[in-house]
Structure 1
Amino acid sequence: MYFRLEPLVSIITPCYNSADFIVPTIQSVLEQSYQNWELIVIDDCSKDDTCKIVEGFVQQHSNIKLVRLPQNGGVANARNVGLEHTNGKYVAFLDSDDIWLKDKLTQQVAYMEDKNLTMTFCAYHRIDEEGKIISAKIEAPYSVNYRQLLSHNVIIFSTSLTLRSAIGDLKFKKAGHEDWIFWLDLFKKSVTGYGINDALVWYRIRKGSVSANKLKVIGYTWKILRESEKLGLFESMYLFTKYAFATVWKRLR
């Protein structure tokens, strides 16, 4: 009988003062039905008990690794450090306050292996700080390319799975909405992302976070269109309007 070896998935989790949320995040990885993974936790010089909590998991699980940074450098730097430590065929990003459902990796790896895909993402629910679901399912489109992604970032980082070879030497930039910029840079390489319309992730909305600060999001969006992507004024205004309507619609769901 022939058994196909499951490819290794490298999971990158940057964290900073995440003691209140990191346990259910790591537990959701341990409970995955997919077994061949490594979890790389990058601590960005936390001042709470984050490292102590993660070290407890490290002592019990050989596939969990903690990298402690000597000084705070921001989430973009932490993710870049995480990429340097990956060994897997695939890379998944999991923020330190989000939660995966148990079949998240199983479904994505199977889909990508079967269809020979470069990148996938999935639908999700938003949750509050107490872990209560506060939205209907945020659906994932069948696919998204660079031009479509310019109109609206439909890819929550914790829902993604990407071929490590496709990322190559691509780095995160220290800027607002660094996740959106990363996907735009990746998709410029003729990459298309394919969606799985099952809600396999709980995405946490925290008070004071960038995602919860509408004014910051608006400013970052305009800056990305004009400065990062160097689009003309009228095209930027058109895409910005589409982004605003899509964001309002999503928040109403």
Structure 2
Amino acid sequence: MENIISIITPSYNSSEFIGETIESVIKQTYPNWEMIIVDDCSTDNTKEVVEKYIQQDNRIKYYLLKNNSGAAIARTKAMELATGEYIAFLDSDDIWIEEKLEKQLSFMKKNNYYFTCTSYQQIDENRNSLNKTIKSKKKTNYNGVLLSCPVGNSTVMYDVKKLGKFEVPNIKKRNDDALWLQILKKEKYIYGIPEVLMKYRVRRNSISSNKLDLIKYHWYLYREIEKISITRSIFHIFYWGFLKVCKIK
């Protein structure tokens, strides 16, 4: 029997895009998946959009949080509900290439890797290409992710049987980076597939669009969650800022 892949999708007011996201999952060439959408108390019609797809495909599951709690709590809840041997992450406005799950699972099994990501491209809100590709590194360890996370959230898949489940650190921004760091304390490397298998939607009102606001979340990640020194934290903040100014990342 083929392995079940649990797809983790937190959602908040994403009715405009989540239909395309779900359709990219339904079109996957690998069929043995479950998609767990955890709604963080959306005030738009996200629920109605998702329910339309649930009626068409029982592999899609919907869970509504009791209180608006943030993406970290939603991701953690989805992971709790997951039943698959593998977990993959997909944000509610991103899009997978049709062969994404099939190629990534094959890559992991062939090489005996437990934690992987892929390259991805950026698109705008209308799905037009921004002509920018973020290439995954062949392998990255804890320090590499801490310094300059090269990992796209919606490209990640890991082996639950080998690594277990995790509680996503509860910070508003950069909680995905914080999760990868947690996993890399158990698994030495995250391995990258060079092929583009995801399209990342860059939104004007994205929670990660304000770079100055992100500084305090990076600081909190470094000091409060990862407990690294003040000197090293300052170095990482300046290095991250350098990459942003130079548009390297």
Give the Cα separation in 1 of the matches to 2:155 and 2:27: 16
2:179 aligned with 1:182: yes
Q: When the two structures are superposed, what TM-score results if normalisation uses the length of structure 2?
A: 0.94
Give the Cα separation in 2 of the matches to 1:191 and 1:7: 23
2:231 aligned with 1:234: yes
Who is 1:9 aligned against?
5
Structure 1 counterpart of 2:156, from 160, 179, 184: 160
Who is 1:106 aligned against?
102
2:101 aligned with 1:116: no
Runs of 4+ in 1 over 6 A off after TM superposition: none
Report % sequence identity. 38
Helix, strand or coil for the counterpart of 1:217? helix
Give the Cα separation in 1 of the matches to 2:36 and 2:185: 27
Who is 2:198 aligned against?
201
CA shift for structure 1 position 239: 2.6
More deviation, 139-148/157-166? 157-166
| 2:140 aligned partner, one-letter code | V
CA shift for structure 1 position 166: 4.3
CA shift for structure 1 position 15: 0.7
Who is 2:215 aligned against?
218
Give the number of equivalent residue pairs: 248
Unmatched tracts of structure 1, length 5 or more = none
More deviation, 25-34/188-197? 188-197
Helix, strand or coil for the counterpart of 2:105? helix
Unmatched tracts of structure 2, length 5 or more = none
CA shift for structure 1 position 206: 1.3
Q: Deviations over 1:114-155 (max 9, x none)?
A: 111111101111111111111421111000010111101111
Residues 98 and 158 in structure 1, CA contact (< 8 A), matched pair in contact too: yes
Helix, strand or coil for the counterpart of 1:212? coil
Structure 2 counterpart of 1:83, from 79, 85, 93: 79
Give the Cα separation in 1 of the matches to 2:13 and 2:21: 14
CA shift for structure 1 position 252: 5.7
Who is 2:32 aligned against?
36
2:65 aligned with 1:69: yes
CA shift for structure 1 position 85: 1.2
More deviation, 215-224/101-110? 215-224
| 2:155 aligned partner, one-letter code | T
Aligned-residue CA RMSD (Å): 1.6
Give the Cα separation in 2 of the matches to 1:93 and 1:81: 13
CA shift for structure 1 position 167: 4.5
CA shift for structure 1 position 187: 0.5
CA shift for structure 1 position 33: 1.1
Give the Cα separation in 1 of the matches to 2:138 and 2:152: 15
Give the Cα separation in 2 of the matches to 1:139 and 1:210: 22
| 2:175 aligned partner, one-letter code | E
| 2:218 aligned partner, one-letter code | T
CA shift for structure 1 position 212: 1.0
Q: Deviations over 1:189-226 (max 9, x none)?
A: 23310001111111111122222111122221222222
Give the Cα separation in 1 of the matches to 2:165 and 2:45: 32
Residues 115 and 187 in structure 2, CA contact (< 8 A), matched pair in contact too: no
In the superposition, relative to structure 1, how do residues 113 and 205 fare at CA in structure 2: closer, same or farther (>3 Å)?
Answer: same
Residues 210 and 217 in structure 1, CA contact (< 8 A), matched pair in contact too: no
